[in-house]
Amino acid sequence: MAILEGIQIQNYRALKDVTLGKTIEDKYVNPLPRLMAVIGANGCGKSTLLDALGFVGDCLSDGVEVACDKPHRGGFERVRTLGVNEPIKFEIRYRENPDERPINYSLWVDCDINGRPRVVRERLRQRRKGQRFGQPHPFLDLTNGSGTVWSGESTDSEEGNKSEPIRMKDRQVLGVSTLGTLSEHPRISKFRRFLSNWYLSYFVPQLARTQPTSGADPHLDRTGENLAKYLQFIERQQPKGFSAMLTRISKKIPGVRAIKAIRAPDKRLLLEFDVEGYEDKFYQQDMSDGTLKMLAYLLLMEDPDPAPLVGVEEPENGLHHQLLSDLALEFKAFAGKAKGPQVLITTHSPNFVDALSPSEVWILNKNDSGHSNLTLAADVSGVMELFMEGLPMGSLWYSNHFGIANP
């Protein structure tokens, strides 16, 4: 199970310099937990934080120019922190599994004199086997498209791993994207797989009402638009487990007695809802936004092969406040599963964070220069003590104990 131990983001919109968890630059903090929430006032940078994670994935899959030019980003100069001339920088620390040595990845993106984004620095570093002290050694080191890569599982020369010079032809493409497809670079391949599979959810209930004519998708997509195809996939994979899963889920959605999958005459899979107070059945397109949203999150958590990192933006929108603590506990259980992902949630809901501890909640706030600061709730004076006395996180937040982050 791959783990993101920490990430530092510099010069990405309002995130001039924020660190979440442990990085090579700051080793004396705890690695990121399985479940995390980020709270803070409007405009403090919560969506930006999730978008920054999506940006790294987009750089990997589409190249840095396409990533910057996505419609919601508007190009490199809008993405880089205004007033700054340095590159956008990411420092990522991850472990392929708890027994492996951590890998540190640095990525710098800048623009050329014509304003075209390009990769200016990329470095992957890891300690050698048995090395307990000192700096990790690079096994990919690229500056302005030229550098060195070390093949194999280790950088130890006695293990027969060799270094070779490399030169990137396309400055928009990440070195880890190209080299990660080659079998002689297993560490880069694993890291590439880890980065490329992050999942960010921006659920749009209306889109989940669509019923495609056919098809099966192994994972729910960002907006939930492929909900029907995702269901189709699970049903084909595990027909017996599928109806048990629907029964399990129906118990967690208020007002719903049962959910059954039925086959329409044209072979499409339809969800049939048995709703309290009605003899007649309802179908996916009849259900309320909140019900569909809850259904989508619960289905996401049934994914047999989930993404290593799942980011969810404001799950509370459209959901009744009493459901939110339960939903938070569901996410906690999901993140705690043996093959579960790490889950990062942005929220405005005190009810949601009630299920979390001060080591799982970060507070974003803007400083006087208009840049975001990120603080772990456990580091805010007095918060840990009050929490230990029995005050839940939401109450602490609501009663202004976080001080910062409240407008």
Ligand X SMILES: Nc1ncnc2c1ncn2[C@@H]1O[C@H](COP(=O)(O)OP(=O)(O)OP(=O)(O)O)[C@@H](O)[C@H]1O
Residues 63-77, buried b or exposed e (16+ Cβ, 10 A)? bbbebbbeeebeebe
User: Which of ligand X, Mg ion, none is residue 44 near (CB under 5 to 8 Å by kind)?
Assistant: ligand X
Of the listed pieces 43-51, 52-60, 222-230, 335-343, which binds ligand X according to CB under 6 A? Answer: 43-51
Q: Is 360 helix (H, G, I), strand (E, B) or coil?
A: coil
Residues 163-222 that bind ligand X (CB under 6 A): none
- Of 82 and 244, nearer to ligand X (C-beta) is 82
Output the smallest distance, CB 42 to ligand X, in A: 3
Output the smallest distance, CB 47 to Mg ion, in A: 3
Report yes or no: 233 and 302 within 8 Å, Cβ to Cβ.
Answer: no
- Of 104 and 349, nearer to ligand X (C-beta) is 349
Of the listed pieces 46-54, 100-108, 160-168, 212-220, which binds ligand X according to CB under 6 A? Answer: 46-54
User: Which of Mg ion, ligand X, none is residue 14 near (CB under 5 to 8 Å by kind)?
Assistant: ligand X
Output the smallest distance, CB 349 to ligand X, in A: 12
| Measured distance CA(360)–CA(363) in Å, rounded | 10
Output the smallest distance, CB 314 to ligand X, in A: 7
Q: Looking at 22, 46, 127, 190, which residue binds ligand X (CB under 6 A)?
A: 46
| Measured distance CA(6)–CA(33) in Å, rounded | 10
User: Which of ligand X, Mg ion, none is residue 40 near (CB under 5 to 8 Å by kind)?
Assistant: ligand X
Burial of 157 (C-beta count, 10 Å sphere; 0-12/13-18/19+): exposed
* The pairing of beta strand 88-95 with beta strand 103-111: antiparallel
Q: Looking at 6, 10, 13, 198, which residue binds ligand X (CB under 6 A)?
A: 13
| Measured distance CA(382)–CA(97) in Å, rounded | 34
Instruction: Please give the size of the binding site for Mg ion, defined by CB under 5 A.
Output: 2
Output the smallest distance, CB 42 to Mg ion, in A: 7
Nearest alpha carbon to residue 296 among 284, 308, 304, 278: 284
List the end-to-end C-alpha distance of the chain, in Å, as a whole number. Answer: 39
Strands, DSSP E only, in 169-290? 199-201, 256-263, 269-275, 282-283
Residues 77-136 that bind ligand X (CB under 6 A): 78, 81-82
Report yes or no: 106 and 87 within 8 Å, Cβ to Cβ.
Answer: no
Tokens standing for residue 13:
């919109």
User: Which of Mg ion, ligand X, none is residue 154 near (CB under 5 to 8 Å by kind)?
Assistant: none
Residues 23-82 that bind Mg ion (CB under 5 A): 46-47
- Of 31 and 43, nearer to ligand X (C-beta) is 43
Burial of 39 (C-beta count, 10 Å sphere; 0-12/13-18/19+): buried
Burial of 46 (C-beta count, 10 Å sphere; 0-12/13-18/19+): buried
Of the listed pieces 42-50, 257-265, 322-330, 398-406, which binds ligand X according to CB under 6 A? Answer: 42-50
Interaction of residue 43 with ligand X, rule CB under 6 A? yes
Question: Which residues are near Mg ion by CB under 5 A?
Answer: 46-47
Which spans of this chain sit near ligand X (rule: CB under 6 A)? 13-14, 40, 42-48, 78, 81-82
